[in-house]
Amino acid sequence: MLPATLTTINLRTATTRWANVSASHAENIGAAIPITRYDAVNGASLDLPSRRARLSPAEAGCRLSHLHVLEVIARAPESCHWITEDDVVFGPQSLARLDSLLQRMSSVPWDILMTDVVAPGPTAALELWGHSLRLPPQTTTAVSLASIAFGGTTSYIVNAAAATKILRLASDAETVEKPWDIQLRDWCREEKLRVFTALPFLTRAVTAPSQIQQKSLLLDWWSAFRDLLFCDRDLNALSSRMDELDKPDDASLLFGRVMAAMTDPSLISRNTFQPRATSRTARVNRADSRSSVANNRSSDDDT
């Protein structure tokens, strides 16, 4: 069953972002899932308690905005709900793939389905890339994030009745104030929430600067990896964008080429390996080997 609603968190002053989300939704999602704008909490206007000092104003506003939306959708626990931030981008395949995936997940217990995530490091990226390589063409799957580091809350779906569960966890975490994506990741690792991600990703984020995260060189590459796993990716555009990014050092670039070769299905399929010996041949070879070792040991002992 498709989500009953799609709620986008948007600052009142960010009119261009809302216009872009609305246009992307109208083109790719439409009436199948109505979109609603939620007025985001402006972190700059908050009088943050001392215990929230670890959060920047933007992070605090983001966290509170997501919690407020969860309070709204908790009143309608009979269906799942879609929450996005205002930098989300949908694709032509997003709706059909989501519908198919949710139907297949009807027998799987889940609380949150991320439609895309940030892979904040090579280990997580390789894990997700490996899962994507095993997918048959035009297939969408859900991968558990219990053991995969992730970030970002650009877009996720909350299962029926899970909103109440998440709000209860948030109310218990009186002394734990973390950015919202890190909070969800920790609850997932602690097995308090069952969080999955769709693969390939069903959404992506615009390449404009984030309103929450501070600009860093790595963010551009994290964003590029997310776009690489997007169901409607444009490889030519992505290649051109990567050409404009600050490059890693030479050794890192060479390592990346090695990883590319090791995970390229076309290269792997062209490899030719010696066929395995038959069971009988293998047994004979092992017996000969043991006999040779025994003979060598006898000679050594005699010597």
Q: Domain segments of the chain: what residues?
A: 5-239
Please name the residues in contact with 115: beta carbons below 8 A apart, sequence gap of 6 or more: 94, 98, 154, 155, 156, 157, 197, 198, 201, 202, 203
On the question of pLDDT at 46 being above 60, the answer is: yes
Cβ atoms within 10 Å, residue 244? 7
> Counting runs of H as helices and runs of E as strands, what totals does the chain give?
11, 9
Query: Shortest CA distance to 154 belongs to which of 195, 204, 201?
Result: 204
Query: Any idea which of 32-36, 60-64, 184-188 has the lowest mean pLDDT?
Result: 60-64
Query: Shortest CA distance to 196 belongs to which of 138, 235, 255, 144?
Result: 144
On the question of pLDDT at 286 being above 50, the answer is: no
Cβ atoms within 10 Å, residue 302? 6
Rounded-to-integer distance, Cα 209 and Cα 281, Å: 62
pLDDT (average), residues 244-273: 85
Taking a C-beta distance cutoff of 8 angstroms, is the pair 221, 250 a contact?
no
pTM of the model: 0.84
The alpha carbon dihedral of 282, 283, 284, 290 has a sign of: positive
Q: pLDDT at position 177, please?
A: 77
For the record, the structure tokens of 49 come out as 């308690």
Q: pLDDT at position 1, please?
A: 85
Rounded-to-integer distance, Cα 109 and Cα 1, Å: 14
With tokens 């997700």, the residue in question is 128
pLDDT (average), residues 168-196: 89
Is the preceding omega at residue 200 within 30 degrees of 0, hence cis?
Answer: yes
pLDDT (average), residues 9-29: 97
Return the CATH architecture of domain 5-239. Alpha-Beta Complex (3.90)
Query: Any idea which of 41-55, 64-78, 151-165, 220-234 has the lowest mean pLDDT?
Result: 41-55
DSSP conformation class of 134 = T
Taking a C-beta distance cutoff of 8 angstroms, is the pair 81, 155 a contact?
no
* pLDDT tens readout for residues 91-126: 999 999 999 999 999 999 999 999 999 999 999 999
Q: What is the DSSP string of 68-123?
A: HHHHHHTT-TTS-EEEEETTEEE-TTHHHHHHHHHHHTTTS--SEEES--B--SHH
Rounded-to-integer distance, Cα 116 and Cα 93, Å: 14
Parallel, antiparallel, or unpaired: how do β-strands 5-10 and 35-39 relate?
A: parallel
pLDDT (average), residues 177-199: 95
